[in-house]
Structure 1
Amino acid sequence: MQFKKVTHVLFDLDGLLLDSENLYTEAFTTVCAKYGKTFTWELKASLLGFQGQECADKIIEVLQLPLTRNEFLNECQKEYEVLFPTVKLMPGAQKLVEHLHKKGVPIAMATSSSQDSVNMKMQKHMDFLKYFHHLTMGSSDPEVTKGKPDPIIFLVCASRFPDKPNPENCLVFEDAVNGIKAANAAKMQVVVVPDPRIPADQLKDATLVLKSLEDFQPELFGLPPY
């Protein structure tokens, strides 16, 4: 299959580089259970790629929780403080990011998480963050006015490279359907490493679907091979 060559790479964080989605699920499940509600996979799947406040609003609405957005976020925060310091990198993440950095490929991170959330999750992986030219953190970035599937996070992130690449010269790595939609709307190619429970038909608009970052071949997109 023929893919267009790219010059710049944008990475999502949660569920793609960082094995954190199961920790979010654990936190949401614990908080919802306090009010006799069940946090389901169906609800989880609909939230992937959302910013924190958007997630809170939807969970409260769907499960009819007797909480305000801030009350829900504060309860989740207590769970995160216990869970997040234990989070690990996903298979292949270190190898790919390090490789692109060493070969001089400009890379950046476009995550829906906030600065505080990234700091908490990455406290044992600070060296890993040094590979990225910049981090765009949607939930705390004033220029990122909407969460995915809106394309703005990828457009803002790409605009912060010094040479301001055209969107079609950027490759996005994602794990979520909302991320695929956002990348497509930004006119960028997108490689997705999805949760295996996501139905194949929801991934049809991805440029390439992989089971693991370990399976990625950079040369397919004109990037330096391993």
Structure 2
Amino acid sequence: MAFLPVTHVLFDMDGLILNTEDLYTVAFQNIVSQFGKNYTYDLKLKLMGLQTHETAKMVISELELPMSTETFIEESKKQFEILFPDTQLMPGAKRLIEHLSKNNVPIGLATSSSKDSYDLKVNKHHTELFSLFPYKTFGSSDPEVKNGKPHPDIFLVSANRFPDKPKPEQCLVLEDAVNGVKAAKAAGMQVVMVPDPRVPKHLTTDATLVISSLLDFKPELFGLPPFDE
């Protein structure tokens, strides 16, 4: 398959740069366990990439929880404050971000997380790495992002944050979630997917390219500077 050259790269965060998808599972299971429910991987697949309030509404609806959206969000925040400060980097993330930054490739962060959630995940261990992103868009707290993934809003808003306003076809998105891939495609962008191994293969077909780890990413496929040997 031939890939088109790009000039700008947009990164998702949860499950792509940081291992927070595992932590979300722990947090949500801790909440729903109070009601004898299970937070299944099938449900998680539907939620990945959604904004905070969308996630809360869907969990409550799917599991028929006797609680309000606001209560679920408050309970989640308590869990996150315990779990998120010790997030770990996913394989290859640091190497790729530093490589693109060093080679003056414009990069941006496009995460469905809120600014508060981002701070919890990043401030203890990862501020230096994330400082390499001059442009960050927080989907759950940015008024310009009207709709969460799979809608294209976050990637279109993020691309518009670059001073030279690249066209969608000039942007490459890096994502782990099915909803994120759909959002990137809806935005008219190419998207490299690094899915959790449990994601069924038929749900990855919208991606321009599927790889098992960011360690496998070859920037030169998209006209970007290759890694030094």
TM-score range, shorter chain: over 0.9
Are 1:142 and 2:147 counterparts?
no
User: Quick one: distance in 2 between partners of 1:160 and 1:86?
Assistant: 29
Provide the residue aligned with 2:33 in structure 1. Answer: 33
Provide the residue aligned with 1:59 in structure 2. Answer: 59
User: Quick one: distance in 1 between partners of 2:95 and 2:179?
Assistant: 26
User: Quick one: distance in 1 between partners of 2:58 and 2:108?
Assistant: 29
User: Quick one: distance in 1 between partners of 2:111 and 2:85?
Assistant: 18
Aligned length: 226
Can you give the 5+ residue segments of structure 1 that lack an aligned partner in the other structure?
none
Q: Secondary structure at the match of 1:34?
A: helix
State TM-score, norm by structure 1.
0.99
User: Quick one: distance in 1 between partners of 2:186 and 2:110?
Assistant: 15
Q: Secondary structure at the match of 1:140?
A: coil
State TM-score, norm by structure 2.
0.98
TM superposition shift of 1:205: 1.2
Q: Secondary structure at the match of 1:144?
A: coil
Are 1:177 and 2:175 counterparts?
no
User: Quick one: distance in 2 between partners of 1:105 and 1:76?
Assistant: 36
TM superposition shift of 1:76: 1.1
Provide the residue aligned with 1:86 in structure 2. Answer: 86
User: Quick one: distance in 2 between partners of 1:153 and 1:141?
Assistant: 9
TM superposition shift of 1:38: 1.1
User: Quick one: distance in 1 between partners of 2:85 and 2:185?
Assistant: 33
User: Quick one: distance in 2 between partners of 1:199 and 1:38?
Assistant: 20
TM superposition shift of 1:159: 0.4
Percent of pairs identical after alignment?
57
Can you give the 5+ residue segments of structure 2 that lack an aligned partner in the other structure?
none
TM superposition shift of 1:160: 0.7
User: Quick one: distance in 1 between partners of 2:192 and 2:154?
Assistant: 16
User: Quick one: distance in 2 between partners of 1:160 and 1:110?
Assistant: 11
Q: Secondary structure at the match of 1:96?
A: helix
TM superposition shift of 1:218: 0.4
Alpha-carbon deviations, 1:99-155, whole Å to 9, x = none?
A: 000000000000000000000000110001111121000000000011000001000
1:13-162 equivalent positions in 2, closer than 5 A: 13-123=13-123, 124-162=125-163
